[in-house]
Amino acid sequence: MMGQAVVRRLRVVLARHVESVPVPWPVETHAGAIGPMRRDGAGPRRRHTVFRPVVVTALAAGLLAGTIAPAVASAGSSTAVPKAAAGQDRPELQRAIQAFVDAGFLGVQLRVHDERGEWAGSAGVRKLGASAKPPGNGHFWVGSVTKTFVATVVLQLVAEGKIGLDAPVAGYLPKLGLDRRITVRMLLQHTSGLFNYTGDLNSEGTWVPGLPSTGKEWLDNRFHSYRPQELVRFALSKPAKFAPGTDWSYSNTNYTLARLLIEKVAGRSFDAELKARIVRPLGLKGTVVPGNRTQLPSPYAHGYFRHQDAGQWKVADVSRQNPSLLAGAGDMISTTQDLQTFFSALNRGRLLPAKLQAEMREPHAKSDPLYGRYGLGLFVKDLGPACGTVLNHNGSPPAGYAALMYSSPDGSKTLTASVTAGDAPFDLAAYPKLLDGLVKAAFCDGPAAS
């Protein structure tokens, strides 16, 4: 069982990743919050000897905040699952996702691709009060996983000579008044020092509120529409955390700026660039940059937010939410199949040249080691000699959902998943162990370590 000090540390990390992110991994928005805390807040290459990247991004706290009472386990869901995958006997994977449900989450959909082929399964239920399982390849809010897509597009533009990785961002976006010491690399690496617009810790460790991104304030405001420039200007109205390039701090502001950079250089929307560079070439069928769209495409599992209102605990269905709060940092929609296709292609070298792929996987020494070290749009984590290194970015919007995306360095083994919260309270201390068990069941030889 984790000590209180570790739980406090998890809350701090999650707060920084409101969004987006990843939680247990870094959170995204992507900052998310668990209980009173917030969530955050997570490129391609040619065949090449890979580093040991890994990663984990904190799951949105909000996501963790609302969860359900133990639901009924489901054998692998057959919805949209190839016969070969459905026919595989992978009890260790089924047990690992059932553990999430037993701990209080509403549902899980998982897809693992490895030397044995592809396995897809689910546990729990699709909606409170229903018995149907989560869809085998349903749509979900991916939170900070968005950051890996954004970083990949930026690095493709770098490869084409349209952006300089170490060039000042102010040279491309002069009207924002950015510190000219901030480079493109610093945005992707979270070393710019810019305030995180979903809330951040100051130098004394005191929480400085940002735009509504957690609790009932976010719930009441969840359909509000934001423009990326509005998010950046809010962040720039706050003092910087440190001088550019001198430290590391996860900030959604960096990736909203990266999105604006893409649009300025490409001369069209990020959505159009993503479709041309990644979505269409890879045949992604369920990946969307929704803008102000609040509805997930069907099929999808419902996610819920457990919150206090006038001293009473209440639960709200947050399947519908406006993700523009996390523009470029945690606003995308996808499926486990699309995430698997994208992350495998990226790590197999199909999207970026080898030199930039290596840059993407170069971990920053000062990045928070709780979930691995951060490179450019992904985390790098060493699971030990029996498991090796994994690359990853997880994510979550402010509430209801979490997305998991992992890969071996060569892209041959992947794990992608969606976790939904329900109406039960959740013990934050249990999350890292659940995630660790799931990742090790997929990436380690033999049973996961206890």
- According to DSSP, residue 135 is labeled P
Task: Tell the residue number behind the tokens 């970015």, with chain if given.
Answer: 393
What is the arithmetic mean of pLDDT over 132-143?
96
On the question of pLDDT at 80 being above 70, the answer is no
- Is residue 392 a contact partner of residue 381, using CB atoms and an 8 Å limit? yes
Interatomic CA distance for residues 395 and 401, integer angstroms: 8
Interatomic CA distance for residues 321 and 243, integer angstroms: 35
398 versus 10: the higher-pLDDT residue is 398
pLDDT tier, 26 (very low <50, low <70, confident <90, very high otherwise): very low
Percent of the chain with pLDDT over 70: 79
- Is residue 204 a contact partner of residue 19, using CB atoms and an 8 Å limit? no
Q: Catalytic residue at 144? A: yes
On the question of pLDDT at 185 being above 70, the answer is yes
Phi, psi of 416 (to 5 degrees): -130, 145
Cα–Cα distances in Å, from 313 out to 66, 183, 424? 10, 45, 10
Architecture of the domain delimited by 4-443: 3-Layer(aba) Sandwich (3.40)
Interatomic CA distance for residues 420 and 425, integer angstroms: 13
On the question of pLDDT at 415 being above 90, the answer is yes
Token output for 449: 């370590």
Interatomic CA distance for residues 356 and 158, integer angstroms: 9
Interatomic CA distance for residues 234 and 213, integer angstroms: 14
* pLDDT, position 16: 47
Percent of the chain with pLDDT over 90: 72
On the question of pLDDT at 372 being above 70, the answer is yes
- Domain borders along the chain are 4-443
pLDDT tier, 133 (very low <50, low <70, confident <90, very high otherwise): very high
34 versus 215: the higher-pLDDT residue is 215
Interatomic CA distance for residues 53 and 340, integer angstroms: 17
Task: Tell the residue number behind the tokens 């897509």, with chain if given.
Answer: 149
What is the arithmetic mean of pLDDT over 361-365?
96
On the question of pLDDT at 76 being above 70, the answer is no
Lowest mean pLDDT among 59-68, 307-316, 321-330, 334-343: 59-68
In this predicted model, what pLDDT tens digit does every residue of 30-53 receive, in sequence order?
Answer: 333 222 223 333 333 333 323 222
Q: End-to-end distance of the chain based on CA atoms, in angstroms? A: 12
What is the arithmetic mean of pLDDT over 261-273?
98
* pLDDT, position 371: 73
- Is residue 380 a contact partner of residue 53, using CB atoms and an 8 Å limit? yes
On the question of pLDDT at 348 being above 80, the answer is yes
The catalytic residue among 144, 192, 396, 407 is 144
Q: What is the pTM of this model?
A: 0.84
Residue 230 neighbours by CB under 8 Å, 6+ apart: none
